[in-house]
Structure 1
Amino acid sequence: MNQSKQLTDGALLTAVFMVLMLISAFVPFITLIATFLLPVPFILFASRYDWKPSIVMLITAVILSSLLTSIFSLPIPVLMGLGGIMIGSAIYHKLSPYETWARGTIGFVIGLVLIFVFSQFVFQVNLVNEIDNMVQESIATSQEVMEQFGLSDMPEEQLSMVTEQMGMLTDLLPVWLAIVALLLAFISQWLSYKVINRLERKQLYFPPFRSLRLPVSLIWIYFFSLIISFFDLDQSGIVYIAVNNVLMLTGILMVLQGFSFIFFYAHAKRMSKALPITSIVLTLFFPIFFLFLVRLLGIIDIGFSLRNRISNVKK
């Protein structure tokens, strides 16, 4: 009976995935919504039967995608399937929402990397070079526009600095992949919680943002990368690129921790929600100053258990 139900659920959810995929491909008005819903069938199936049967569902979806659309659409079910299976398997094993989010992020990162490999060997397109070319074209276009408005007197040093900073977009590609994977995992997991709660009468939800607490080991990774960045590294070398990516990613996580502490502090002191919301707005509009402060707050919170001290004082 269980095997029959598993086959039925697999066939039904695979069909739902294919419908969503066709909608995302051919109905431009709701492409974005359908794209975020694509991992949900895999999450539902994996949350019921774990990852092994879900791999069979993924293979089936890949075959059907190549038959109903084309071979060029293969990366889509692979990306959404891997991320969805990782999230669903975590739900199956009753992991915490943030652990589930982390596993889903890993799944989407693997899927995005496979897309890069697929485009390189099947399409003969190097996405890194394409992004670099787009950046260079953007810089050239900006220079032309500035010349048309008589703003071509920009100092050479300033122009070279802007060019260098734009070029870092390619070097920081792993960070952008991680950020995209984080967003995909979060939205997919949130949507799947809504669907599972409605269909299976469960109570799955993300805990309040103020309860987010990252591991202490993150600080050591951050400071170790920071120390290495002070050395005179070859800017085209892999060590320089790796250190900058780790530093950027851990810095972003520290900022998240800082905002989480601000929400916690406002809640602990029974203050208005205007305080944490204002901190986010100020950081968005004045990132040079406030981003540093929020990151520092996150480092102190993780390293010195700041919220534990506040809780003890409250008691």
Structure 2
Amino acid sequence: MNNSKQLIDGALFIAIYMVLVFISLFVPFISMITILLVAVPFIIYSTRYGLRPSLIMLIGASLLTMLFATFVALPLPIIAGLGGIMIGLAIKQEASPYETWARGTIGFVAGILFAFVFSLMVLHINVIEEFNQQMDEIMALSKNILTEIGMGKEVDQQFNLLEQQLALYKQLVPFGVVAVSILLALVNQWVSYKFLNRLENKHLRFPKFRNLRFSTSIIWIYLLAMVVSVFQKDPNGTVFIAAQNIIMLVGLFLIIQGFSFIFFYAHQKNLSKAIPVIAIVVTVLFAPILITFIRLLGIIDIGFGLRDRMVKRH
């Protein structure tokens, strides 16, 4: 009976996955949402049945994807399956929400790396080189257009700065992979919590965002990476590129910590819940000016126990 139910559920969740895939591939507007949620069927199934049945489901989903969406689409079920199974197993093992999020991120990173290797080995397409080439072509085309209309001399200096920034962005592909994986894990985990709470009467939820606190070790990692990048003279060296990616990644966590403190401060002072939301919107709109302040706020909160001091004073 259990095996029968397991097979029926497997077929059902593969069908749900395939519907999400078809919508993502052929429905332009809704695809922006469904492409973020293709891992949800894997999460729910692996939460119920564990690793081995989930791997069988992944194989079945991969075969159907190749059958109906061609062999080129194979990375899609691998990314969704690895990320979803990692999240589902963590939920089954009753891991904390943030540990579950971390495991899901690792799963999605592994899936995206598989997609890169698949593109290189099977399709003979180097995704990173293609991205760099496209960026160079866009920059060259923009510069030629401005030169033809007589603005070349005025924008030469600005283009030199843009080219330096573009060179840095090319080196931040690892950070981009991790950042996308963090987002995918967060969205799929949150949606899966909603379904599992309704379908199986669970009580899964993330802790209050205002209570989020990262370990103080990330500050030392951030400072060490900054020191390493300062003393590295070769901007194309492996050590410098690794340090820059670490700075960006840890800096992202510090920004999240800074926003968490704003929510905590608003709660402590009994301010309107709209205030921290407005603060995030304003920061996004004026990111070049305000994002450094938010990151610094995160550093102070972690390193100097800012919220602990506020609680004692309160």
Query: Fold match, TM over 0.5?
Result: yes
Cα distance in 1, alignment partners of residues 136 and 13 from structure 2: 44
2:98 maps to 98
Checking the alignment, whether the CA contact within 8 Å between 1:135 and 1:167 is kept in structure 2 is no
1:189 maps to 189
Deviations 1:171-197, CA, capped at 9 Å, x for gaps:
101111111111111111111112112
Cα distance in 2, alignment partners of residues 75 and 180 from structure 1: 15
Unaligned runs of 5+ in 1: none
Query: How does 1:5-24 map onto structure 2 within 5 Å?
Result: 5-24=5-24
State the SS of the aligned residue for 2:30: helix
Deviation for aligned residue 1:129: 0.7
Deviation for aligned residue 1:43: 0.4
1:280 maps to 280
Cα distance in 2, alignment partners of residues 103 and 154 from structure 1: 49
State the SS of the aligned residue for 1:202: coil
Deviation for aligned residue 1:261: 0.5
- Structure 1 residues 55-64 or 121-130, which shifts more? 55-64
Code of the residue aligned with 2:60 in structure 1: it is T
- Structure 1 residues 144-153 or 102-111, which shifts more? 144-153
Query: How does 1:97-176 map onto structure 2 within 5 Å?
Result: 97-154=97-154, 156-176=156-176
Deviation for aligned residue 1:284: 2.2
Deviation for aligned residue 1:21: 1.5
Q: CA RMSD in A?
A: 1.7
Deviations 1:6-65, CA, capped at 9 Å, x for gaps:
222112211221222223223334222221221111000111122232111111111222
Code of the residue aligned with 2:311 in structure 1: it is S
Mapped pair 1:59 → 2:59:
yes
Checking the alignment, whether the CA contact within 8 Å between 1:146 and 1:152 is kept in structure 2 is yes
Cα distance in 2, alignment partners of residues 289 and 19 from structure 1: 43
Deviation for aligned residue 1:149: 4.0
Deviation for aligned residue 1:69: 2.4
Deviations 1:163-221, CA, capped at 9 Å, x for gaps:
12112221101111111111111111111112112211222222221111112211111
Deviations 1:277-314, CA, capped at 9 Å, x for gaps:
34323322333332121111101111222212222222
State the SS of the aligned residue for 2:36: helix
Cα distance in 1, alignment partners of residues 151 and 207 from structure 2: 51
Cα distance in 2, alignment partners of residues 277 and 195 from structure 1: 26
State the SS of the aligned residue for 1:36: coil
1:308 maps to 308
Checking the alignment, whether the CA contact within 8 Å between 2:54 and 2:85 is kept in structure 1 is yes
Cα distance in 1, alignment partners of residues 143 and 97 from structure 2: 47
Checking the alignment, whether the CA contact within 8 Å between 1:233 and 1:239 is kept in structure 2 is no
Deviation for aligned residue 1:77: 0.3
TM-score, normalised with respect to structure 1: 0.94
- Structure 1 residues 271-280 or 108-117, which shifts more? 271-280
Code of the residue aligned with 1:270 in structure 2: it is N
Cα distance in 1, alignment partners of residues 233 and 143 from structure 2: 30
Code of the residue aligned with 2:110 in structure 1: it is I
Cα distance in 2, alignment partners of residues 276 and 226 from structure 1: 29
Checking the alignment, whether the CA contact within 8 Å between 2:232 and 2:239 is kept in structure 1 is no
- Structure 1 residues 35-44 or 5-14, which shifts more? 5-14
Code of the residue aligned with 1:8 in structure 2: it is I
Query: How does 1:144-293 map onto structure 2 within 5 Å?
Result: 144-154=144-154, 156-293=156-293
1:4 maps to 4
Cα distance in 2, alignment partners of residues 278 and 148 from structure 1: 43
Checking the alignment, whether the CA contact within 8 Å between 2:21 and 2:38 is kept in structure 1 is yes
Aligned length: 314
State the SS of the aligned residue for 1:165: helix
Checking the alignment, whether the CA contact within 8 Å between 1:266 and 1:272 is kept in structure 2 is yes
Change (3 A) 1:125 1:91: same
State the SS of the aligned residue for 2:182: helix
Change (3 A) 1:229 1:312: same
Change (3 A) 1:49 1:279: same
State the SS of the aligned residue for 2:271: coil
Code of the residue aligned with 2:37 in structure 1: it is L
Unaligned runs of 5+ in 2: none
Deviation for aligned residue 1:73: 0.9
Code of the residue aligned with 1:201 in structure 2: it is N
1:32 maps to 32
Mapped pair 1:87 → 2:110:
no
Cα distance in 1, alignment partners of residues 148 and 282 from structure 2: 34
Code of the residue aligned with 1:290 in structure 2: it is L
